[in-house]
Structure 1
Amino acid sequence: MTDVARPPFDDAVARALAEFDDLVVVSMSSDEIPRVRASGVAAPLAELTAHGAFERDELLVPGWREDDPPVGVVVYTPAVVRRPAPVILHLHGGGLIAGNADSDMPATAELAERTGCAIVSVEYRLAPEHPYPAALEDAAAALRWLAGPDAPAALDGDRIIVAGVSAGGGLAAATALFARDQGGPRIAGLVLLCPMLDHRSDSESARQMAGHGSWDRGANATAWAAYLADVEGGVPPYASPAVADSLAGLPPTFIDVGSAETFRDECVAFARRMWADGGDAELHVWPGGAHAFDFLAPWTVLARDARRAREEWLRRLLHRI
């Protein structure tokens, strides 16, 4: 049996995958979820706040329903605020089974500082303890609070960009679909970084990258099974955005993904469907990028180019709204 042809990794990304093999999650079983959770390392407070560029506060906001538990959010407000700042509503990665509100934060803080934004990061509930729709409802509750009268005055609830990494990117897309269909708050833009959009994980790239990279279809299947444990019948688009009948009416969207990763084809398909439905999407497929390559190896030329592209897109968006 011959090996499946795969696109090559960027040389620097390949070295990072070999060096940080403890961060590589392939063929994960449900028994390994505690190990994946424990592998997350909290960044120092100085990095979380971009060395004092932001003030950090932990708050509780009302849950989606009256009897739901409150949702934790971490608010990063620019240290100097002359007028209400646009807000990145951040949804962290971790396969919907790991991570916390401070995950991915140094990179998100860098993006926010360079574009004049504040950040609200959501401590959404994780599967398998809290399967769908818990994470979606927590994200929707945070969005509703942020757009309402009880959010801090320094945050501009009319300029909300919903962003997410990996599972958080899929959750961001699901939150936008939910807000569109349920008459929720207006979202000014979506930033989907290597988003986890399709529970089926049967694309060509998913098959190509099985057993390789930093997150493969085996790990993906375990994560989706945990998240969808209580779903009966068809999987709803608010869980798996790729199955939505239409992507019309979504806000302007930035999508990026690596060429050598599991989610490549589902991200390309999502952008193509947005265009077909009359939407505004910018897609970047970074040659040689593994899953979440710019978080795994932020010092690489490829990572710097990827971060610069999303920064430029967000600046253009903010000039329009």
Structure 2
Amino acid sequence: MSEISNLSFHVKDPFSWGQHGKHTAFKFVPTLPRNKQVGVLDVEGTDAHKRVGTYIWPRDRCDKEYNDRDDVTLEDGTEPLVGITIHGGAYVHMSAEEKCSTSIIPKRLMESGLFLEIHSVEYRLIHYSAFPGALLDVASVFDNLINERKVPPSRIVIVGDSAGGNLALALARFIKDERHEDTPAGLLLLSPWCDPSFSFPFNPTTQRRRPNEGIDYLMDTPVPRALIIESFIGCTSGTGQGCPTCTQQQSHTFIKRSLFKQRKRTSQQHNLLPDHISVHSPYISPASLHLKDEEDLFEDFPPTFISYGTAERLEDEIKVLIERMERNNVDLTTNVAEDGVHDLLILGFWNERQKDAIWNDIFNWSRDLSLKSIP
């Protein structure tokens, strides 16, 4: 209903101070310095957003560095993990606040005893910024953990559900492309939205449909969904159909590394390409069928855990994501929930036994990550 009516829920103003919660403390961290805004973040002009809000689990870790702790190591002698959680909500809903339904994810991860702390990012939704605003926000938190809180990158786990999984994939790609020496410990993806280009028809007379219609609660209303993606990528056509660059088969090829400056130069030379990122960029739609000839999409990605259900609307694109990661020899672990709907771990009404089985797999995977030594 919210998709059709163009309403948002559980949204927080990212520029305002957040309230401390029972388990969390709110803190602003500085936006990534301009000299570190490279690659896909290298956009002409100045981003006015100077700080990024985070909710830190637990609240007593708000101002501490990684080694400032009583429990120097876990019981098995390993160093604890630190999480960055990125909430879902199609880039229009939800918040990192403790009371939001998606916050069950950092809460359960903390209960595992494997994480020293978790930083839930209050990134900018499309109400406040088009791409790469949200990516800049999560990259800022990642950089702050390493350089201010002195967390070794090999202890950091990037976590995202639904649209948060899309943003987690983009952050992992940014690190791979521009900060390879800071490869994180792992990437935890829960029902990741990995092909927003699905919302744009390849042929204007043909509307593509996602699977499991009438089973999953996730809606796929064509025009509202396409308008969301247009807003996210900064397309100004406003028709819900995407611009020519969004729908042309080879539209992604002019941004080998998705650089805005390259895109602007190409636009000036040919007067065809708009001043926004392509919906088929691997930063936006890494499972896009238009990227099928890209052989190294996930080369050097960190160990990854993917969970999804066989009754969710994103099933097909997640399978493409898994296939591509396997082709690039990513250290991949998957959990497939039989008859599971989208992002079921945040649902209070879902089968607890099935949710517990998924959590147990996540905890086992996280434990394996924690056993790896710090380089």
Output the TM-score relative to the length of structure 1: 0.78
8 Å Cα contact 1:206-1:262 kept in structure 2: no
Measure, in 2, the Cα distance between the counterparts of 1:211 and 1:220: 17
AA of the residue aligned to 1:82: D
Residues 278-298 of structure 1: per-residue CA shift (max 9 Å, x gap): 211111221111111221135
Q: Which runs of 5+ in 1 are unaligned?
A: 1-23, 50-55
AA of the residue aligned to 1:180: K
Q: CA deviation at 1:112?
A: 2.4
8 Å Cα contact 1:248-1:277 kept in structure 2: yes
Q: CA deviation at 1:35?
A: 5.0
Measure, in 2, the Cα distance between the counterparts of 1:173 and 1:264: 17
1:139 pairs with 2:138: yes
Match of 2:92 in 1: 97
Q: CA deviation at 1:36?
A: 7.1
1:304 pairs with 2:293: no
Identical pairs, percent: 26
Q: CA deviation at 1:216?
A: 2.6
Q: CA deviation at 1:222?
A: 4.4
Match of 2:27 in 1: 59
The structure-2 alpha-carbon separation of the partners of 1:112 and 1:36, relative to structure 1 and needing over 3 Å to count, comes to closer
Q: CA deviation at 1:266?
A: 1.3
AA of the residue aligned to 1:32: N
AA of the residue aligned to 2:365: W
1:266 pairs with 2:317: yes
- State the SS of the aligned residue for 1:73: strand
Please give the residue correspondences for 1:1-321 in structure 2 after superposition, counting only pairs within 5 Å: 28-29=3-4, 31-35=5-9, 37=11, 45-46=21-22, 49=23, 56-66=24-34, 68=47, 69=49, 70-77=51-58, 81-83=70-72, 85-102=80-97, 103=100, 104-117=102-115, 118-148=117-147, 150-151=148-149, 155-183=151-179, 185-201=182-198, 207-210=210-213, 212-218=215-221, 220-230=225-235, 231-233=276-278, 235-243=280-288, 245=294, 246-297=297-348, 300-321=352-373
Q: CA deviation at 1:73?
A: 1.3
- State the SS of the aligned residue for 1:171: helix
8 Å Cα contact 2:211-2:316 kept in structure 1: no
- State the SS of the aligned residue for 1:313: helix
Match of 1:17 in 2: none
Measure, in 2, the Cα distance between the counterparts of 1:188 and 1:128: 32
Measure, in 2, the Cα distance between the counterparts of 1:58 and 1:189: 25
The structure-2 alpha-carbon separation of the partners of 1:234 and 1:164, relative to structure 1 and needing over 3 Å to count, comes to closer
Q: Which runs of 5+ in 2 are unaligned?
A: 13-17, 35-45, 61-68, 73-78, 202-207, 236-275
The structure-2 alpha-carbon separation of the partners of 1:114 and 1:233, relative to structure 1 and needing over 3 Å to count, comes to closer
8 Å Cα contact 1:206-1:263 kept in structure 2: no
More strand by share: 1
AA of the residue aligned to 2:107: A
- State the SS of the aligned residue for 2:31: coil
| CA RMSD in angstroms, aligned pairs only | 3.0
Measure, in 2, the Cα distance between the counterparts of 1:191 and 1:134: 22
AA of the residue aligned to 2:339: G
8 Å Cα contact 2:57-2:106 kept in structure 1: no
The structure-2 alpha-carbon separation of the partners of 1:78 and 1:123, relative to structure 1 and needing over 3 Å to count, comes to closer
Measure, in 2, the Cα distance between the counterparts of 1:58 and 1:37: 16
- State the SS of the aligned residue for 2:155: strand
The structure-2 alpha-carbon separation of the partners of 1:109 and 1:85, relative to structure 1 and needing over 3 Å to count, comes to same
AA of the residue aligned to 1:307: W
Measure, in 2, the Cα distance between the counterparts of 1:166 and 1:106: 14
AA of the residue aligned to 1:291: H
Q: Comparing 122-131 with 83-92, which one deviates more in the overlay?
A: 83-92
- State the SS of the aligned residue for 1:147: helix
8 Å Cα contact 1:164-1:172 kept in structure 2: yes
- State the SS of the aligned residue for 2:196: coil
AA of the residue aligned to 2:372: R
Measure, in 2, the Cα distance between the counterparts of 1:254 and 1:232: 27
The structure-2 alpha-carbon separation of the partners of 1:294 and 1:314, relative to structure 1 and needing over 3 Å to count, comes to same
Residues 114-158 of structure 1: per-residue CA shift (max 9 Å, x gap): 14201011110001431111111111111111111x12x6x5554
Measure, in 1, the Cα distance between the counterparts of 2:214 and 2:332: 30
Match of 2:243 in 1: none
8 Å Cα contact 1:71-1:142 kept in structure 2: yes
8 Å Cα contact 2:195-2:286 kept in structure 1: yes
